[in-house]
């Protein structure tokens, strides 16, 4: 795997949703590095990519309440587990569970295995609330997919928080989820 600066030289064979990510980042003058790789469906598959990127690869979870009327995109460090009860208490939404793939596609134009904060650019009706574990904010760099799991990006955390998230018009709620031994 090779680390590249910025967007691919030829986007003709890339999915439209991936190219939209590069267009957004470029329009905001956000520098980023990119690795193209085999499809990474799990955090374990992202381990080799993580080594090359040198940033925190985050786990992205699409959650919903029991009635499927509230949706949350949770970003936590890839090596951190969480209990829904701890998060539910912090955000005041009981009975959280994983949202189905149909919601990922409907709201974020993303398929399972490709979930990323960058998908919020496709949530024009603001159906998804962004939740970010505070631990991620202490890292200089963060890794994420550009809405497809055959590439990964390394972006400065400050650029994500200060430029990208505001441009997507999705306010960020910071949560504090404990590590396994603290739960």
Per-residue confidence (pLDDT) for residue 25, from 0 to 100 = 98
Q: Give me the mean pLDDT over the 62-79 stretch.
A: 93
Handedness of CA 29, 35, 39, 44 (dihedral sign): negative
Best CATH choice for the domain 13-175 from the list 3.40.30.10, 3.90.1310.10, 3.90.960.10, 1.20.120.450: 3.90.960.10
Per-residue confidence (pLDDT) for residue 158, from 0 to 100 = 97
Position with higher pLDDT, 171 vs 38: 171
Confidence of residue 134 (pLDDT cuts 50, 70, 90): very high
Per-residue confidence (pLDDT) for residue 53, from 0 to 100 = 81
Per-residue confidence (pLDDT) for residue 113, from 0 to 100 = 87
pLDDT in tens, 82-104: 788 899 999 998 889 999 999 99
Contact 94, 67 (CB under 8 A): no
Evaluate if residue 46 carries a pLDDT over 80: no
> What ranges do the domains of the chain cover?
13-175
Per-residue confidence (pLDDT) for residue 45, from 0 to 100 = 66
Which residues, in sequence order, are CB contacts of 124 under 8 Å at separation 6+?
Answer: none
Evaluate if residue 183 carries a pLDDT over 50: no
Evaluate if residue 58 carries a pLDDT over 60: yes
Q: Give me the mean pLDDT over the 32-54 stretch.
A: 78
Measure Cα distances from 113 to 6, 10, 38, 132, 163 in Å: 22, 24, 12, 19, 25
Measure Cα distances from 100 to 17, 19, 60, 142, 177 in Å: 20, 25, 14, 25, 23
Confidence of residue 2 (pLDDT cuts 50, 70, 90): confident
Query: Could you tell me the pTM of the whole model?
Result: 0.92
Out of 3-7, 40-44, 86-90, least confident range: 40-44
**Helices assigned H by DSSP within 31-163:** 47-53, 84-91, 101-108, 157-159
Q: Give me the mean pLDDT over the 131-137 stretch.
A: 95
Q: Which residue has the tokens 């460090």?
A: 77
């Amino acid at each position: 795997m090779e680390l590249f600066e910025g967007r691919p030289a030829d986007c003709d064979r890339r999915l439209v949703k991936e190219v939209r990510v590069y267009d957004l980042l470029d329009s905001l003058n956000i520098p980023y590095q990119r690795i193209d790789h085999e499809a990474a469906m799990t955090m374990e598959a992202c381990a080799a990519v993580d080594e090359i990127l040198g940033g925190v690869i985050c786990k992205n979870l699409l959650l919903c309440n029991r009635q499927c009327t509230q949706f949350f995109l949770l970003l936590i460090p890839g090596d951190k587990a969480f209990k829904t009860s701890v998060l539910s208490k912090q955000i005041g939404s009981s009975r959280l569970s994983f949202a189905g793939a149909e919601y990922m596609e409907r709201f974020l134009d993303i398929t399972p295995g490709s979930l990323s904060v960058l998908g919020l650019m496709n949530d024009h009706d603001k159906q998804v609330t962004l939740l970010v574990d505070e631990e991620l904010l202490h890292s200089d760099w963060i890794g994420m997919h550009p809405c497809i799991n055959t590439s990964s990006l390394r972006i400065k955390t400050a650029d994500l928080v200060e430029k990208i998230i505001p441009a997507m018009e999705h306010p960020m709620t910071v949560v504090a989820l404990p590590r396994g031994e603290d739960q």
